[in-house]
């Protein structure tokens, strides 16, 4: 057990020595900053007549001024012609009319299920089926036992005809 642990530790140490060496890799975002830094910095020339109180470290700490060429200096200024922000303009909103209630009365399906048709009569196509107890808005009521009522189901937007005898008041 001790030998296995020792081999593992030596392997980890060797991997850290080899893999942990700095081979000069630079992250992509830092490459431009490194290039600009090396272009700006200039070696400091040591004067031969240095005073005794001035040390080499003090000379290295104060770099020589670098003058930029006059062609690269651009003076920029921004003066807006009008204010960048202005107060919002208040617009009076038109009054909202209350929703109008549809004309007609509410009836309920009294049969097990009924067909809603495109037109009055059994010869028209079936649009939808309504289950028992479904509320419908009757727009135009049909007369007699064979009358057909024009209905609308508000939630679904379905409008069609059903047999009047199959609708009840609840």
CATH number, domain at 133?
Answer: 2.30.30.40
Report if residue 31 sits inside a domain.
no
Q: What is the pLDDT of residue 126?
A: 93
- Alpha helix positions (H), the chain: 2-19, 28-40, 56-61
What is the domain extent for residue 140?
Answer: 105-168
pTM over 0.85: no
For residue 133, is pLDDT > 70?
Answer: yes
Does residue 162 form part of some domain? yes
pLDDT tens digits, one per residue of 145-157: 778 999 998 777 8
- pLDDT confidence tier of residue 90, bands split at 50, 70 and 90: confident
Kindly state whether residue 158 falls inside one of the protein's structural domains: yes
Q: Is residue 26 part of a domain?
A: no
136 within some domain: yes
CA distance 46 to 55: 10
């Amino acid at each position: 057990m001790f030998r296995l642990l020792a081999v593992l530790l030596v392997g980890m140490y060797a991997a850290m020595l080899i893999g942990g060496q700095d081979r000069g890799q630079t992250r992509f975002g830092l490459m431009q900053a490194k290039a600009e830094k090396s272009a700006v910095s200039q070696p400091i020339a040591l004067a031969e007549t240095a005073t005794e109180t001035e040390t080499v470290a003090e000379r290295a700490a104060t770099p020589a001024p670098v003058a930029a060429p006059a062609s690269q200096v651009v003076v920029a200024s921004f003066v807006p012609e009008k204010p960048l922000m202005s107060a919002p303009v208040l617009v009076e909103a038109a009054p909202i009319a209350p929703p109008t209630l549809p004309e007609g009365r509410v009836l309920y399906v009294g049969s097990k299920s009924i067909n809603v048709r495109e037109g009055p009569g059994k010869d028209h196509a079936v649009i939808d089926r309504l289950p028992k107890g479904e509320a419908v808005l009757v727009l135009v009521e049909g007369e007699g036992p064979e009358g057909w009522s024009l209905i609308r189901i508000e939630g679904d937007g379905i409008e069609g005809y059903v047999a009047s005898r199959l609708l009840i008041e609840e």
